[in-house]
Amino acid sequence: TLVPDDRLLEGLNPQQREAVLYRGQSLLIVAGAGSGKTSVLTRRIAGLLQTREAWPSQVLAITFTNKAAAEMRERVGALIGREEAEGMWISTFHSACVRILRREAENFGFTKSFTIYDSADSRALIKRIIKELDADTLGFTVSGVAGKISKAKNELSDVESYARGANFNDPNEAGFVEIFRRYTESLARANAFDFDDLIAQTVYLFRAFPAVAALYQRRFRHILVDEYQDTNHAQYALIRELTRGIAPEHVPADTRMATSADGGIPGASLTVVGDSDQSIYAFRGADIRNIVEFERDFPNSRVILLEQNYRSTQNILDAANAVISNNFDRKDKKLFTTIGSGDKIIGFTGYSGHDEAQFVADEIQKLHDEGVAYKDIAVFYRTNAQTRALEEIFIRSALPYRVLGGTKFYERAEIKDAMAYLITVANPFDPLALRRVMNVPKRGIGPATEAALQSYADANQVTLRDAMRDASLLGLGPKVTGAITGLAQILDEVSATAGTAKVSDILVTLLQRTGFIEALRASRDPQDEARAENVEELVSVTKEFQRNNPEGTLLDFLTEVSLVAAADDLDDSSGTVSLMTLHTAKGLEYEAVFLTGVEEGLLPHQMSASEVGGPAEERRLFYVGITRARRRLFLSLAMTRAQFGEVNVAMPSRYLQEIPADLIEWKQSPGDATSRGGTQPRALNARRPQFSYASSFSELPAAPPRVKTEWANRVTNTVRDNGDLTLAAGDRIRHVDFGDGRVTAVTGAGPKSVAEVQFDTAGRKRLLIKIAPIEKL
């Protein structure tokens, strides 16, 4: 047989080598994190191409994210040369299906220019149908229906097959079938697929049109799937269709491929890799059985186990093994490494999310000083709302960072919407912000209405806001006229208080009276839930602002936010620290990893705690997070966390005690943090771990008061804008939290100038001069 050249096999252990060279029909590689599953897939592809066993166009590789696809393409190119690798399909399930559907949709009544409805679009459609049918009176909700339709499609049940199994005596089922039917018809009329359709319809296409399927079955001779544990039923079925052999009658006449004795073409070879301990998408229909039952579904398959971990130190692996072994119903597999035990895991308990974020920023700075590049450092969290405290501290510390798989806090659409309300109220002349919120939440003010308002405003030389007050003169329908004047009235009333009212009150009033928050809360789409959480987080921000600035006005607040937002794009040639959710972290690896918010309620997340299988799935998520780290792992939590506009006492995560105590060195353990007063500097005396879950935090007072000087109060009570304060190396400064220090260097220009400061007691820090709470001495 053909053997790829030595470079492709270099350094592989015997099991990995076998996996790269195996040439049977189907191969399953199951192994724990960091054992080289993705690497083996990559080398397998490179080997097939290098030996000319396959043309690039015959390879279909499926990854979980677009980023992973780009990386795999890059690596294959690096191994065998970029041109040699051109023409491969390396993509996610969804992108592969879009490509297929664009070519083939005309076979079943769609055109190639079909629209893809995102979840907001489908929900808008469902909402309209529910209204049409008056189905809300029967208790149908948009999110309930959307979830059920999505689930049906992931299980490959269309409205016809669903109806066959439905009990029409039950009004709930009969009603749902009717909504599902209208939804399906509307999508078809609109020449649109929703997100779940992309996969389900491709399966349908292949099943209904064997000749079309044969084109792809003939084309893709080698199919490889990474992260197989997170495939759902529809994705599994797609793989089955693609790897099916071609019956003699469907073999294209012009084929030059070898046929079997009966004249058919055997199925493509299939390689899947996965780790059932890393299955974290059950909530999206992922089915771990796909991996468990692989051998039954694909007879004569070969199973290869990998046990050596090449990513992490033994301490990190021991922690990961200890945690995951608490899950029942799993095959026990122990990972080992030859890297050595490495540094201990560092634990830290902050007083608050801010304190925790400051710890993270300080440690990142230390790592950077030791020579770890920013791009090799990642910070993980369970919920997007946690980014706010991190981002704020990172900006103030001038740490370059980027948020992966999500927009930065102030760039999120829902935060922009909420901020636009505040801006409209503060500045009635601003048409941009007003246009942004005119139809948020949806109140039926469409583009035509907006245009009519604008032309009235232009003709009469008044603002858009004035035009809204006069809406009754425009001859619009009564409903939309009411919506417009109603909104104008709310805005006018809130505007009248804008000079004096508390910012948080203004925001809460707007969110409530406009129905903004209600609309997000009412829907149970996980995305809207996250959006509502983010908006609640903005409420927390305003409350915190008001605590720090009792006299602060709305305009002061807007000024501060625009400063933070303007500093967002700090960049640095040495790369950026990556921030992401634990779900996004799957498959990635970093030299140093900070796993933040290791608290009950966040990890496990409160929503999953009561669900069947929830805590086990959250434990897998924790396991995924730990196993991303190569050499340094930091686990942090806070004693109190501002959430939903309130400060709550937080408890250490139950998963923390599953890690053997001697693997963690607490810089500040939960015990330290509770037993100490608030005036001491953050402890650096690493005590023996004395963390006890049962008694932790039970009698915890609220966050200890910060002792501040009069000067500090003066500085924090004003909007932090140091104007054109210039600093030079050698200057002495005073910082609200860090005390006195000496500037050692200044880099950057204008508003992005950064001072490096050696503080007398607080160590070395980087500060964005424009907004740092500092004074030149």
Q: Which residues are annotated as a binding site for ATP?
A: 31-38
CA dihedral angle for residue 362, residue 366, residue 367, residue 370, rounded to 10 degrees: 170
Q: Can you list the alpha helix ranges (DSSP code H) found in 209-333?
A: 210-219, 233-243, 289-292, 294-297, 314-324
Nearer to ligand ATP, 38 or 201 (CB): 38
DSSP annotation string for 345-387: EEEEEESSHHHHHHHHHHHHHHHHHTT--GGGEEEEESSGGGH
Run of H or E residues at 162: helix 159-165
The yes or no reply on residue 229 touching Mg ion (CB under 5 A) is no
The yes or no reply on residue 636 touching Mg ion (CB under 5 A) is no
Q: How far is the CB of 285 from ligand ATP (least distance, A)?
A: 21
For residue 311, the partner it binds in ligand ATP, Mg ion, none, with Cβ less than 5 to 8 A by kind, is ligand ATP
Nearer to ligand ATP, 36 or 347 (CB): 36
Number of residues that bind Mg ion (CB under 5 A): 3
Q: How far is the CB of 17 from ligand ATP (least distance, A)?
A: 9
Nearer to ligand ATP, 379 or 415 (CB): 379
Nearer to Mg ion, 214 or 624 (CB): 624
Q: Which of 382, 543, 628, 641 is catalytic?
A: 628
Provide the pairing of β-strand 345-350 with 302-306. Answer: unpaired
Q: Which of 42, 243, 278, 542 is catalytic?
A: 278
Q: How far is the CB of 257 from ligand ATP (least distance, A)?
A: 32
Please provide residue 702's backbone torsions phi and psi, each rounded to the nearest 5 degrees: -60, 170
Run of H or E residues at 583: none
The yes or no reply on residue 274 touching Mg ion (CB under 5 A) is no
Which positions ≥6 away from 644 have C-beta within 8 Å? 533, 536, 539, 540
Q: Which of 197, 227, 537, 672 is catalytic?
A: 227
Nearer to ligand ATP, 88 or 320 (CB): 320
SS (H, E, C) 590-658: EEEEEECCCECEECCEHHHHCCCCHHHHHHHHHHHHHCCEEEEEEEEEECEEEECCEEEECCECHHHHH
Task: Map residues 381-420 to x or -, x wherever contact with Mg ion holds by CB under 5 A.
Answer: ----------------------------------------
Task: Map residues 530-569 to x or -, x wherever contact with Mg ion holds by CB under 5 A.
Answer: ----------------------------------------
Tokens of 684: 């650096």
CA 638 to chain centre: 22
For residue 275, the partner it binds in Mg ion, ligand ATP, none, with Cβ less than 5 to 8 A by kind, is ligand ATP
Tokens of 103: 């070519």
Q: How far is the CB of 323 from Mg ion (least distance, A)?
A: 19
DSSP annotation string for 568-581: GG---TT--EEEEE
The yes or no reply on residue 342 touching Mg ion (CB under 5 A) is no
Q: Is 227 a known active-site residue?
A: yes
For residue 313, the partner it binds in Mg ion, ligand ATP, none, with Cβ less than 5 to 8 A by kind, is none
Q: Is 544 left (phi over 0), alpha (psi -120 to 50) or beta?
A: alpha
Q: Which residues of this chain interact with ligand ATP, rule CB under 6 A?
A: 11-13, 16, 31, 33-39, 275, 278, 310-311, 587, 589, 627
Q: Which of 104, 194, 197, 226 is catalytic?
A: 226
Residue set of the binding site: 31-38
Q: Is 226 a known active-site residue?
A: yes
Q: How far is the CB of 82 from ligand ATP (least distance, A)?
A: 20
The yes or no reply on residue 587 touching Mg ion (CB under 5 A) is yes
Give the integer Cα–Cα distance in Å for 733 and 395.
19
Tokens of 83: 């041109």
The single-letter code of the amino acid at 438 is M
Q: Which of 38, 365, 523, 643 binds Mg ion (CB under 5 A)?
A: 38
Q: Which of 16, 37, 43, 668 is catalytic?
A: 37
Run of H or E residues at 414: helix 413-426
For residue 33, the partner it binds in ligand ATP, Mg ion, none, with Cβ less than 5 to 8 A by kind, is ligand ATP
CB 417, CB 437: distance < 8 Å? yes
Q: How far is the CB of 589 from ligand ATP (least distance, A)?
A: 6
Q: Which of 15, 16, 38, 217 is catalytic?
A: 38
Q: How far is the CB of 587 from Mg ion (least distance, A)?
A: 4
Nearer to Mg ion, 34 or 604 (CB): 34
Q: How far is the CB of 418 from ligand ATP (least distance, A)?
A: 37
Residue whose CB is nearest to Mg ion in the complex, by number: 38
CA 301 to chain centre: 35
DSSP annotation string for 296-312: HHSTT-EEEEE-B-SSS
Q: How far is the CB of 324 from ligand ATP (least distance, A)?
A: 12
The single-letter code of the amino acid at 99 is R
Nearer to ligand ATP, 65 or 141 (CB): 65
Q: Map residue 396 onto helix, strand or coil.
A: helix
Q: How many CA atoms lie within 13 A of 71 on its CB side?
A: 13
Nearer to ligand ATP, 201 or 313 (CB): 313
Q: Which stretch in 252-260, 317-325, 583-591, 727-735 sits in contact with Mg ion by CB under 5 A?
A: 583-591
Run of H or E residues at 177: helix 171-189
Q: Is 37 a known active-site residue?
A: yes
Q: Is 278 a known active-site residue?
A: yes
For residue 68, the partner it binds in ligand ATP, Mg ion, none, with Cβ less than 5 to 8 A by kind, is none
Nearer to ligand ATP, 12 or 452 (CB): 12
Nearer to ligand ATP, 273 or 471 (CB): 273
Question: DSSP assignment, residue 683?
Answer: P
Q: How far is the CB of 241 from Mg ion (least distance, A)?
A: 25
The single-letter code of the amino acid at 405 is G
CB 647, CB 702: distance < 8 Å? yes
Task: Map residues 300-319 to x or -, x wherever contact with Mg ion holds by CB under 5 A.
Answer: --------------------
Tokens of 201: 């319809």
Which positions ≥6 away from 177 have C-beta within 8 Å? 159, 162, 163, 166, 168
- Find, among 383, 356, 411, 392, the residue nearest to 644 by Cα: 383
Q: Map residue 538 onto helix, strand or coil.
A: helix
CB 117, CB 85: distance < 8 Å? no
Q: Give Dmax (Cα) for the chain.
A: 91
Query: Which residues of the shown chain bind Mg ion in the complex (CB under 5 A)?
Result: 37-38, 587
Catalytic positions, written as ranges: 37-38, 226-227, 278, 628
